[in-house]
């Protein structure tokens, strides 16, 4: 019984030390699903924000579906302070794309989607992404 109590105390202490040190997983290292509508005629749509774990680390976009026979462009966008990445052009169903960016560690980032200037309907996009 004493051994069990010592083990539990050690685990509790280690867990508290981890929390207090600020270490732990950033949301950006895990894939998060998205489903958003991208407006017609060069319109935009957005994912929710994730917190970056590493400055400038490439993000990953896994597109499940892009509505109809359309394609969209996608880029990582910082909430503030710059770091917006280059566009990944022509994202279609079932594609995985790398999202280059310069968003800083612990900065909030999201994916911005855009339709082409001549897309006459709103486009629904679904998939998952991570900011890293």
- Across the range 113-131, mean pLDDT stands at 97
116 belongs to a structural domain? yes
Residue 6 domain flag: no
Task: Give the model's pLDDT for residue 6.
Answer: 58
The tokens of 69 are what? 């026979």
Question: Is residue 17 within a helix (H) or strand (E), and if so which, with residue range?
Answer: helix 2-21
Record the pTM: 0.79
Q: Is residue 121 domain-resident?
A: yes
What is the span of the domain harbouring residue 125? 27-130
Phi-psi region of 43 (alpha: psi -120 to 50; beta: other; left: phi over 0): beta
On whether residue 21 sits in a domain, the answer given is: no
Q: What is the DSSP letter of 99?
A: E
Give the C-alpha separation, 129 to 132, whole Å.
9
Total domains, the chain: 1
100-114 pLDDT per residue, tens: 999 988 899 999 999
C-alpha span between 118 and 120 (Å, rounded)? 6
31-72 tens-digit pLDDT: 999 999 999 999 999 999 999 999 989 999 999 999 989 999
- Residues of the chain with pLDDT > 70, as a percent, come to 80
Does any domain span residue 11? Answer: no
**Residue 40 pLDDT:** 97
* 32 inside domain: yes
Query: Is there a domain that residue 73 lies in?
Result: yes
- Output the domain CATH number for residue 64: 2.60.120.260
The answer to the question of residue 3 being in a domain is no
| pLDDT (average), residues 106-125 | 96
* d(C-alpha 33, C-alpha 58), whole Å: 17
């Amino acid at each position: 019984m004493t051994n069990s109590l010592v083990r539990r105390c050690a685990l509790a202490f280690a867990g508290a030390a981890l929390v207090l040190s600020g270490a732990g997983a950033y949301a950006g290292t895990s894939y998060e699903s998205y489903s958003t509508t991208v407006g017609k005629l060069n319109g935009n749509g957005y994912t929710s924000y994730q917190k970056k774990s590493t400055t400038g680390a490439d993000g990953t976009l896994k597109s499940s579906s892009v509505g109809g026979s359309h394609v969209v462009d996608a880029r990582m966008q910082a909430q503030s302070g710059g770091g917006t990445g280059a566009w990944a052009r022509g994202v279609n169903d079932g594609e995985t794309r790398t999202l280059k960016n310069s968003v800083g560690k612990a900065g909030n980032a999201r994916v911005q989607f855009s339709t082409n200037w001549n897309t006459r309907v709103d486009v629904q996009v679904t998939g998952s992404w991570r900011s890293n």
